[in-house]
């Protein structure tokens, strides 16, 4: 399990670049989906990308921080991808779906998103763009920090990065096409 606070303290810029590797490379975070991008040498799928690309401009439009200590980031990413895929199959966005399976997926997503409140109480923010600054203010001692920050997770909102707004929808469509063939 990644220590997001330690990662946020790491030097260097954490922005995504095109993944240059074999097509069958699996995401290092969720161990499930095909990697399409990389950040700091880690091969990632589009759902896990925001948990690593902390310095991406306008990243808060794509994802947010939540407090979910009992779920690993990779597991959360797989769950989030499944919720987005259910909505995409019905032509709905995760935030607007109200009926049927997409409505159920939307309700689960809303519950996950509500977990931001617990994180704001602990570190003062739920914005990825503010995580690096918040991480520097937390205790360096792992045991003290664990209580405050070990449950920080990144929740993908189901939209592409601001410079490629349709990329995530395209990714979901490719998954849908792959499952129907």
What confidence score (pLDDT) does residue 62 get? 93
What are 83-116's pLDDT values in tens digits?
Answer: 999 999 988 988 888 899 999 999 999 999 999 9
Stretch 108-131: mean pLDDT, rounded?
A: 93
In the numeric block, which tokens belong to residue 79? 């769950």
Q: Does a structural domain hold residue 170?
A: no
- Residue 178: pLDDT band with limits 50, 70, 90: low
CA distance 149 to 145: 6
- Does the pLDDT of residue 181 top 50, yes or no? no
Q: Does a structural domain hold residue 168?
A: no
What confidence score (pLDDT) does residue 157 get? 94
CA distance 156 to 106: 13
Q: Does a structural domain hold residue 102?
A: yes
Are residues 14 and 59 in contact, defined by beta-carbon separation less than 8 angstroms? no
User: Left, alpha or beta for 160 (phi > 0: left; psi -120 to 50: alpha)?
Assistant: beta
Q: Does a structural domain hold residue 164?
A: no
Q: Give 118 or 64, the one with higher predicted confidence.
A: 64
Question: Average model confidence (pLDDT) for the chain?
Answer: 87
Number of structural domains, the chain?
1
Q: Does a structural domain hold residue 169?
A: no
The parent domain of residue 13 ranges over 4-159
Q: Does a structural domain hold residue 40?
A: yes
What confidence score (pLDDT) does residue 150 get? 78
Q: Does a structural domain hold residue 24?
A: yes
Q: Does a structural domain hold residue 28?
A: yes
- Residue 155: pLDDT band with limits 50, 70, 90: very high
What confidence score (pLDDT) does residue 180 get? 53
């Amino acid at each position: 399990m990644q220590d997001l606070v330690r990662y946020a303290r790491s030097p260097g810029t954490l922005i995504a670049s095109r993944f240059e590797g074999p097509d069958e490379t699996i995401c290092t975070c969720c161990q499930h989906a095909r990697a399409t991008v990389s950040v700091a040498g880690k091969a990632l799928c589009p759902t896990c990308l925001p948990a690593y690309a902390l310095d991406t401009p306008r990243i808060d439009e794509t994802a947010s921080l939540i407090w979910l200590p009992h779920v690993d980031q990779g597991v959360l990413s797989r769950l989030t991808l499944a919720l987005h895929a259910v909505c995409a199959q019905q032509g709905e966005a995760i935030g607007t779906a109200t009926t049927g399976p997409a409505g159920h997926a939307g309700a689960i997503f809303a519950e996950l998103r509500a977990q931001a409140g617990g994180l704001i109480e602990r570190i003062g923010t739920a914005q990825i763009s503010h995580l690096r600054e918040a991480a520097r203010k937390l205790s360096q001692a792992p045991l003290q920090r664990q209580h405050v920050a070990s449950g920080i997770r990144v929740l993908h909102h189901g939209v592409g990065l601001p410079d490629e707004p349709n990329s995530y929808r395209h990714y979901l469509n490719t998954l849908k096409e792959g499952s129907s063939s």
